Every structure is written in C-alpha cells, then in structure tokens.
Structure 1
Amino acid sequence: MSAFSAIGSGEEREVDQNEFTPSIEPQPTWCPGCGDFGVLKALKGALAELEKDPEEVLVVTGIGCSGKLNSYLDSYGFHTIHGRSLPIARAAKLANPELEVIAAGGDGDGYGIGGNHFMHTARENHDITYIVFDNEVFGLTKGQTSPTSPMGHKSKTQPKGSAKNPIRPLSLSLTSGSSFVARTAAVNPNQAKDIIKEAVTHDGFSHIDFLTQCPTWNKDAKQYVPYTDIQQSDDHDVDLGDRRSASEMMHEAEDALYEGEVLTGRFYKDENRHAYHEEKQERGDFPSEPLAERYFEDGDWERSYDYIDRHA
C-alpha cells in the first residue's frame, strides 16, 4: 500500500455507512425538511454498499447549502469557491485515477456560476460523479432566482416574477457529452441511493440532477411529489443507450416538472466511451502510474520547470 492511503490497498471489506459520519458530528445547519439531508443519507448508503473506504473517497463542493456536504461526510473533502468544484475534482482524478471523486453543487453553483465547467467536464467525460442539488432557487443567500427557477417565479431578485425560461439540465447534460445522466429526488431515498451507486461505478462523467426541496425559500416547488420512476412505469419508455430516445424522454421530463409531474430515473448511459484519462493513456499522453503515487515513492518530487526550456 502506498504512503498515500487514498490510493487504496485493494482489500475488500464490509463498510458500515456510519463510518462516513464524522466522529465529532457537526450540527447540521440545513433547515428542517431540507432535501439536502436526503442527498447525504443516500450518498452514505451508496458508498457503504459499494464497500468504499472513507479514505478512498474525495468529495469536492462549491458554495451554497450543498457546499456543506463534505462537512457532514467523513472522507477526504475540498471546499472550493462558487462554481469551481468540477475543475478541482478533475485535477484530483487525473492525479490519482483510483480515487473515487464526487463533486457536488447547487443549481446556481453548477448550472449558473459553474455552467462553463459543467459543459466541458461533460464533453471531456472525466470519470467523476457530479451531484447537483436542484431546488430551483439560491437557498443559502435567501431565495434569489436561480437558473432552474420556473418562469413567473417570484423572488427577491425577480419580485414581479422571472421573465426567463429555466434551463433544461438533463438536455444540457446530454448535449454537452455526459455519458451517464439521471434524475432523482430526496423524497425517493431508495431510488436515490441506487442511482448514486450506478453513477459512482460508471466509467465516465456521471451527472445526477438531484431534486432537493427547499421548504424555507422555495415553497412553490413543494416536495417534488408525486414522482414517477420512468424505469418502473408502463407509460414511459427510454432506450438508455440511444441518444435520440434519451433526448425525447428528457424533454418530456423537463416539461412535466413545471406542470406538477416529477419524472425520475436513468435517462442515458453510454458504456462504450472511454473516460478522459483512459483516452489520454491510450494516446500515450498520460502516465499509467498515478501521479500522486509517484510523489510518495522516493520523495524526489518532479517540477514542471524541469521539463520546460527556459528562455535565455
């Protein structure tokens, strides 16, 4: 085993989800009834069932209510600035591909401020899981309109109602290049856990639009019920490996959400596409040995200036 424990020993063991609870558990500052509790519980359950050791996991978060996730999860954690969780997560995965990297952000953090990073991380198909806490509002800053707020939604920044159509996160994800796209909700904990497990084990960029009710600042969205699992419904059919079928199902789900019907489940999965670091390795442009491990073998750290010709 490397001196860097997050590379892992390869030993399999049964993991209890309570191992992901900090020994000195911080008092959660999420509001009572917040959907973010559902994300935390589903993530703990998924990682435990996958037998992931806390030292094998890195959770990278942005700013907002979702940014507190790694404060309540006992694993490696990195709290970035607003909208920047994905570039940090990408760098960590490239330095140590064996590390299980999970990025998280809110709809404002991920689809607004960090929207550019979202598109290009999906396009490059980095092997990380991205959970977006989607409550259709900026929660931590007290209820401003977000990229997913429906047209007409009244807030402090749009007191007469939003004049803009919301973005379509599932469609945007597919168009950008995500190789796994799903939607779940905090009110459906069993489905949420199973979808996170599939996302984590998927080889490539996994995007989960996780509907998280905000009872304090977004009473319009209520609890995201009733919900329908499209994989268990006779009224909906999607071929997960077909982009056109997935696109049509996503469009239907994005329309239905603002009409009172919540369609959740898996929408797209491409199992044949290489993850970014695998593609780079195949082209001979990426080391087979993890960069993080090389730094701990003999203490002889490599520096970029050793490989750059200096100007005279």
Structure 2
Amino acid sequence: MSLGEFDLIARYFGRPTRRAALGPGDDCALLALRPGMQLAVSCDMLVEGRHFLPTVDPRRLGHKALAVNLSDLAACGAQPLACTLALALPRVDEAWLDGFSAGLYELADAHGCELIGGDTTAGPLNICITVFGEVPAGEALLRSSAEPDDEIWVSHAIGGGIGDARLALEAFRGQVSLPGAVFERVRRAMEQPQPRVALGLALRGVARAAVDVSDGLLGDLSHLLHRSDVGASIDVGRVPRSADLAAQPLALQRLCTLAGGDDYELVFTAPPAAHARVLEAARGADVAVSRIGRIEHEAGLRLVDADGQAVDRVWASFDHFSA
C-alpha cells in the first residue's frame, strides 16, 4: 500500500527537534532566539529540469536542496538554526525518499539545522526549503556595505576554484568531453556544493559586504555593486580555477568561472587593512580565498587581464526568465 501524506512525513521527515521550541506536527513551528540576536530567513526553490537533472542521485539532491539555502545564510554571516521543507512529488517512491531525506539530514546535522516543518503534495517534482538562522544585531554581512578601495575576494576549495559546476553542465550538454574521473569530480561539484557557513561566521567583523555565487560570479557581484552604489575592477586571471578547468580552452575557462553559476561560494569585500584577517578567517574555516579585484568609485564592473588590458564582458549570468 502506498504511503499517505502524513505517514510519509512521519517516516522520512518527522525527526524530533532538539533546539526548536516546537517542531513538526503542529500548525506552526516555534523558534526561540537568544537576546540580542536577529533572525535571518531565506528561501530557495529547486525545480526538476530547471535546477537539477532527472538523473541526479536523490541523496545528492537532498544535500543540494539544503546547501543552496545554507549558502544564503553563510553570505549573511548567520548561524543556521532550522529549516522547513515543501515538497511536491509526482508519486511516492520510497527508495527515492530514503536517499533524499538521508542527504538532507546529513548536511543539516553537520550545520545544526533542524527540520521543523513544511508541506507535501502531489505534483511535478519541486523542492522548496526555507532556512532560519541567527546573527548578532548589527553584525550581518550585507550586499550594501562595500566601499571604494575594498579588496574583492572569492572563496573556493583548497587546491580548487570556481566554475567546475558549469564545466559539468557543459559536459551534460555534450559541449565538452571529459575523462570519467574528471567528469565525476566536476559533477559532484554541481550536485553537492559545500555551503561556506564557517567562513561566513568567521568574516563577521572582518568583511564589509558579501553575496553567494549562485547564478555566476559577475552577475552576483553586480548585485552587490548595485546595492552598494560602487563599481569594481576584476583581474580575470586571478579568478581561481581547478586544474581540470584550467586544462580547457581559455574561452571555456572564462565562461565557467565568470558566468557559470551553481558554485555556492562567497564573494565578499574587505578593507585592505583586513587582508591578514581575511586569510586567517579562511584558514580557520578550512577553505581557500583568492583576492580577485578592488572596489572603485566609478560605477560598473570592469574586467582586466594580468597586463591590465581591458577584457570584453561577453558573458551573462543565469537568469530564470531570460535563459
């Protein structure tokens, strides 16, 4: 007999909460914040065929569904507290639910983020997670706080870079052929991104402004520049890339690193005087950071190469309604 809605919730998503005052099973969940803390809230939706392929492993999908939301908390410098899950399923597939819930809970446990409620319904596969975090009042990292002369940094895995997720997408599209081991590595980057929560927390009081890289480095950085009413210059040669991506033609490297999306790294600004503290924060979070440019008074985003020569901006980041 197929599971009903409430049996499905109880079996796969009904784990008792520890920190929340009230979790799944009532009309509302209850969260108690510590004095002097602000609540950070973010919501992201993943739609099959738009955000992930039908062939993705459900465990990886459970991971990614939560990771993209935790990445928003990281960009704000917020400590994860809890999340809700709204899930539309075309049918009840218990093997799929086993994998999906396991991947979600594994990442949730790693960041102390409790599942406290949500909804399920029948329909095309659609995953919507809302995350809640806390940050000391006045200490949140914002998109609107960059200042001229700030250094621009981007996070990445130690020994790696950004753009591997887009390289995997190009392989799926048949635009590039990759050896099996390389394809699996970049596919993992696309399907199991690592939210930089620890780095976001370490950057409070160090960085001025931050945004996570979800739709592409240039596009997401442009949002920060617009909100801060500043411009920037980026040295495209300093943008970090993995050895696998560096082995590709230069045009593909730049497409993947500058406009690829799905990286879920942090791009942030900090005053030059905080340079050593930025590196210290990264070491403490066990992640690498690379300085890729500088904030400027003049509006706009300018790209230069290692010789300081202008590079035409011919790449556009992802947009749901123009892609």
Q: Fold match, TM over 0.5?
A: no
Higher relative CO (Cα under 8 Å, sequence separation at least 6) belongs to: 2
Larger proportion of strand: 2
TM-score in terms of structure 2 length: 0.26
TM-score in terms of structure 1 length: 0.27
